[in-house]
Amino acid sequence: MEEELEIFLEDCDDQLQFMENALVEMQNGIIDEEAIGAIFRAVHTIKGSAGMFGFDDIVAFTHTGENLFDLIRQGKVEVNKEMIDLFLRCKDYAEKLVQAAVNSEELDEEQKRIGEELTNKLIAYIEGKPQESAVEVLKDETLDESEQKWHISLRFHQEFFTTGMSINSIFNFFNKMGKVLLKHPITYNIPPLEELNPIHPYIGFEILFSGKTTKEELEDVFEFVADDVDLIIFDVSEKGAYESLVVQRGEALLQKELIAASFASQEMFSETFLKDVSSEESEAEEKKELKKEIIAPQESLEKQEEAKKSESKKKSSTTLRVDSHKIDLLINYMSEIVITNSKILSLVERENEESEESSELEEAAYSMKELLEYVRDGIMDMRMIQVGDSFNKFRRIVIDTAKKIGKDVEFVISGGETELDKSVVERISDPLIHMLRNSIDHGIELPEERVAKGKRAKGRVDLRAYPDAGSIVIEIEDDGGGLDKERILAKAIENGVVKPSDKLSDEEIYKLIFAAGLSTADKVSDISGRGVGMDVVKRNIEDLRGSVDITSTYGVGSKITIRLPLTLAIIDGFLVQVGLTKYIIPLENIKECIELTKEEEAQMGTNEFINLRGEMLPLLNIRDVLHEEESISNRKNIVIVYFGNKYVGLIVDELLGEYQTVIKSLGEVFVNLPGISGGSILGSGEIALIFDVPRLIELKNRVGSVK
């Protein structure tokens, strides 16, 4: 059951997130039928899934919430602010119930007390309408107080057993919803032993069920196996329903099976089923007459079923749920293939240099390289997900944080359709949460302060994402008080982070907030103010080969800009050589390559820039920065790289061309190597170091001349 439980957990996480998103929208005043319906469906789905696994605590809790939301859907209970807060607490508690159930753990006494408190509050809202009861909400309004009886006709597709679902779990869930009066197996389709396939289901079921449920709730029981069963459900009091069932099934022996099941003794069948069915001729005649009566509705039913199956196939063919660890493994294998193919290309080129003519092997090797690039791109696309789902999870955090410190904040998300590597999205989540909380706590002023400054009482925090120059940009912008650079600088000098004599630009001063232990908060709160966290944020972003910048206007607001690579595994690179060492520059960061002539070098003198088409281009000599040996080449080249709106020219010796690069970690020993993000194995077996362009640009801006 481990795999099924994982699916259950993922599905519950999704439904709980849908629920939270809808509730947050309702907190913002958007209370409509769509939001209420989304929450009801989420609660109902969790209840149904939990029931199939026998998680009674989850079923009982969600059942109460479902009752209340059904009353809300019918307009019998009005939603208010306190109720929304209660639902958010219920969502958190349901999350704990799901985790405890999946891990086979018991909730502690405090959590059980919270559960009872929440349940009682839900019931209090339900009982606020005395003419309605929780049970009455679940059934059709046309019914009286007696339980309704349903007939369920069930057949299985040949692939049913491959789903891993147990029909016993479904039957057990029926007993929680009501009572199974009769469960009769249909056995006449079982073939002779020599023709029997043990993985094919041959037995069907005709079930008589009694309970205060709707047809839709019974259909939801089969939600996980809807594409693998043939299901017919009808009210036993419905006129002509049994006759229609016989025609739909097209099974000549079904009448005998139903009578043999003693349904007739319970007065659930029309007189048709009490006729003599001993001869096949009379059976055929009866069937013919019945078909005439219901042929029109039957044709319509068949069309609906066909459309439903077609739509189901369409959905199942476009979506495939794959464990992310399998994709990680595939990427690792792909990385090794890329390295091996590079070695093959290197050997082929060496052989062609000796023979001075191309060969079919060379053509095949380059064709293989092209195909591998397609496969690589396809695999990497599997890892790309939209950031919107992750961003939506922050809504609750922003609202709760603002509410806790008495601030009113409008949270706006844009660019949610932007795609980023799943692993990057997961690792950037915590840094974003920390910075959002800081924007609310330190940036946005209290409502009365904002009004006194001529601002509107409600502050605004924007979270946006967009692609830019081969990377993804994430911005957090607020219209708060902005950063006080004099105060930051004074605190940094006091803490010994910088010296009083240091000349820093505004951008460099703002970045001092990322220094460990530096905080300008007047008082410590349980949200921020201890001077910890922002240094970790910066380190986590840099570990992702990203960068973070801050711009601010005092009294107006601040903006934090994060730049991240699209992926962390395989990149297109450009191979260069400095001294005896080869380096790889990410192709997405390269603008152009030019030759540094001896005349230009002489004009430079001790300056570290050149005039490039009327613009000053700062230069960084890689040999000096990384203490490389003297060049064995008589030529020098400049590779112009950029990140954001900043450009630097890297002085290198040889330009060796494009190279598909598998990024390998260098380990903790080389973690502080300036401007290096990792390494890669070349086809020749040599190690090439990968430049971290953002760090190199930062190094140039911070250190200046290195000669």
Contact 236, 208 (CB under 8 A): yes
Q: How crowded is residue 246: how many other Cβ atoms within 10 Å of its Cβ?
A: 21
> Edge-to-edge strands of the sheet including 204-211?
179-186, 204-211, 148-156, 229-235
Q: How crowded is residue 448: how many other Cβ atoms within 10 Å of its Cβ?
A: 10
How many contiguous H segments (helices) and E segments (strands) does the chain have? 23, 21
Q: Among positive and negative, which fits the CA dihedral 593, 597, 600, 606?
A: positive
Contact 482, 552 (CB under 8 A): yes
Contact 659, 681 (CB under 8 A): no
Mapping DSSP to helix (H, G, I), strand (E, B) and coil, where does residue 695 land? helix
- Cα separation of the two ends of the chain: 65
Smallest Cα–Cα separation from 62: which of 98, 114, 17?
Answer: 98
- What letters, b where the CB count within 10 A reaches 16 and e where it falls short, cover 380-414? beebebebeebbbebbbbbbebbeeeebebebebe
Selected catalytic residue, list 20, 21, 25, 44: 44
Selected catalytic residue, list 21, 67, 341, 438: 438
Judged on CB neighbours under 10 Å (0-12, 13-18, 19+), 642 is middle
- In the annotation, is 66 catalytic? yes
Contact 268, 208 (CB under 8 A): yes
| Residue 549 β-bridge partners | 561
Judged on CB neighbours under 10 Å (0-12, 13-18, 19+), 221 is buried
Contact 655, 549 (CB under 8 A): no
- In the annotation, is 438 catalytic? yes
- Token duo for residue 409: 């904040």
Question: Which residue carries 């052989």 as its tokens?
Answer: 351
Question: Which residue carries 């013919």 as its tokens?
Answer: 288
Which positions are catalytic?
44, 66, 438
